[in-house]
């Protein structure tokens, strides 16, 4: 009989859904450790055959000691990016269970190892929340909109895709891309939000555009940190970025890569579009370098400056490359030791 502990470090409905899956999988002896909230505990206690323990901060040492004595075979914990329940998440690490499984949302589940934690940290930086987060925490813009009626037993369909258009090129390129999206839809039910420069000549061209549901502005680099936090909280399903070779938009291009959208759709100067990935990024970089190599011969000072910049980049990357090679070497040595022992 497997004795399983479920750490309720997520929304109660997400915890209940996971508990139902464990019970359906013939897991016996399920215990749920949840926040010290009578409403949450009462909601989870309606599950048949489940023991619910409220994690009272005043009794934390005694509760952890009791859970250690029970020697659970597996512990399930949620890392769904909600930024709450930190004490519950840390409690999972202090129980000494032989198997700790993390549920990150979107059906992603993995066993805790140092490599898995590093990969997950990089993934969570790019995608701060799972795609089903809005099922449990609707965005503020939708809180005052009553949900559509659904037949009994059926879930309410999620709202349309929320797309952020980052003006990282001159307005004609953006307008041409919007026209392309209107004639050749890529998204099922998109709601476009434009993030552009706060200039009258720019706003005049986008005002009243039929595809744009909202227009947000910025004053170059002023308030960039506030804009970054606000846009990351929006959790857009996708963002549209323009890489047209225009050097006057370098800051906003770097800014767009930190917004945490689940997908990035890139438009170039020819209105060709592709989803951003490592392969597509390197292909575009090679294309840009090929274009520059066909330009007139550069001056001696420009070549020296480029060589110095390349040397500086290599010098900055050297410590990270060394740490990565050392980690791989240690991992191989540990694997060889386990195989021989």
| CATH class name, domain 161-293 | alpha beta
CA distances from 283 to 252, 278, 287, 291 (A): 21, 9, 6, 12
Q: Which of 117-131, 236-250, 277-291 is the least confident region?
A: 277-291
The residue extents of the domains of the chain are 4-133, 161-293
The pLDDT tens digits for 151-171 are 444 444 455 788 999 999 999
Poorest-pLDDT segment among 204-213, 302-311, 324-333: 302-311
Kindly state the average pLDDT of the residues 212-225.
86
Residue 243 scores a pLDDT above 60: yes
- How much is the pLDDT for 178? 92
Query: Which string of DSSP letters, residue by residue, matches 64-100?
Result: HHHHHHH--SEEEEE--S-S--HHHHHHHHTS--S-E
Which residue intervals of 127-185 are DSSP H helices?
133-136, 140-143, 171-183
Using 50, 70 and 90 to split pLDDT, how confident is the model at 298?
low
pLDDT band of residue 236 (cuts 50, 70, 90) is confident
- Residue 2 makes CB contacts below 8 A (sequence gap 6+) with 27, 28, 29, 73, 74
Q: How many CB atoms lie within 10 A of CB 227?
A: 18
pLDDT at site 152: 47
pLDDT, tens digit, 9 for 90 and up, residues 80-120? 887 778 888 888 888 888 889 999 887 788 888 888 888 88
For the cut 80, the answer to whether the pLDDT of residue 287 exceeds it is: no
Kind and range of the H or E element at 289? helix 278-293
User: In whole angstroms, what is the distance from residue 227 CA to residue 256 CA?
Assistant: 11
d(CA 61, CA 127): 34
Local confidence band at 289 (pLDDT 50, 70, 90 cut-offs): low
CATH of 4-133, one of 3.10.450, 2.70.98, 1.25.10, 3.40.50: 3.40.50
Q: What's the pLDDT score for residue 80? A: 86
Are 4-133 and 161-293 the same fold in CATH? yes
Contact between 209 and 134 under an 8 Å Cβ cutoff? The reply is no
pLDDT of residue 301: 66
H/E stretch holding 203: helix 200-206
The CA-based diameter of the chain, rounded to the nearest angstrom, is 78
Provide the pLDDT for residue 151: 47
pLDDT reading at 148 higher than 90: no
Cα 154 to Cα 56, 92, 157, 160, distances in angstroms: 36, 34, 9, 18
**pLDDT 10s digits, 14-69:** 999 898 888 887 556 789 999 888 889 889 988 888 899 998 888 888 998 988 88
Report residue 179 as tokens: 């026209």
The predicted structure's pLDDT at residue 303: 63
Q: What is the pLDDT of residue 267?
A: 92
């Amino acid at each position: 009989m497997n004795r399983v502990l479920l750490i309720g470090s997520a929304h109660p409905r997400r915890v209940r859904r996971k508990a139902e899956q464990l019970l359906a999988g013939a897991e016996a002896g399920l215990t749920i450790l949840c926040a010290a909230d009578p409403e949450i505990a009462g909601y989870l206690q309606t599950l048949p055959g489940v023991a619910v323990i409220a994690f009272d901060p005043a009794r934390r040492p005694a509760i952890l000691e009791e859970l250690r004595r029970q020697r659970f075979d597996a512990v399930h914990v949620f890392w769904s990016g909600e930024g709450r329940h930190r004490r519950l998440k840390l409690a999972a690490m202090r129980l000494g269970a032989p198997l700790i499984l993390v549920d990150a949302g979107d059906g992603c589940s993995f066993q805790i190892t140092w490599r898995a934690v590093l990969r997950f940290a990089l993934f969570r930086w790019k995608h701060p929340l799972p795609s089903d987060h809005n099922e449990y925490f609707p965005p503020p813009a939708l809180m005052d909109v009553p949900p559509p009626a659904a037949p009994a037993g059926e879930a309410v369909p999620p709202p349309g895709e929320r797309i952020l258009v980052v003006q990282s090129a001159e307005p004609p390129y953006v307008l041409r891309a919007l026209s392309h999206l209107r004639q050749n839809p890529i998204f099922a039910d998109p709601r476009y939000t434009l993030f552009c420069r706060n200039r009258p000549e720019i706003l005049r061209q986008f005002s009243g555009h039929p595809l744009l549901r909202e227009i947000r502005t910025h004053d170059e680099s002023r308030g960039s940190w506030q804009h970054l936090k606000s846009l990351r909280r929006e959790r857009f399903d996708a963002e549209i970025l323009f890489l047209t070779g225009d050097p006057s938009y370098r800051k906003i291009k770097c800014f767009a890569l930190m917004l945490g959208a689940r997908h990035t759709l890139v438009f170039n100067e020819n209105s060709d579009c592709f989803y951003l990935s490592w392969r597509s990024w390197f292909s575009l970089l090679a294309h840009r370098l090929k274009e520059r190599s066909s330009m007139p011969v550069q001056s001696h000072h420009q070549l020296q400056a480029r060589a110095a910049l390349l040397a500086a980049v290599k010098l900055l990357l050297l410590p990270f490359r060394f740490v990565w090679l050392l980690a791989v070497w240690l991992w191989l040595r540990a694997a060889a030791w386990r195989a021989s022992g």
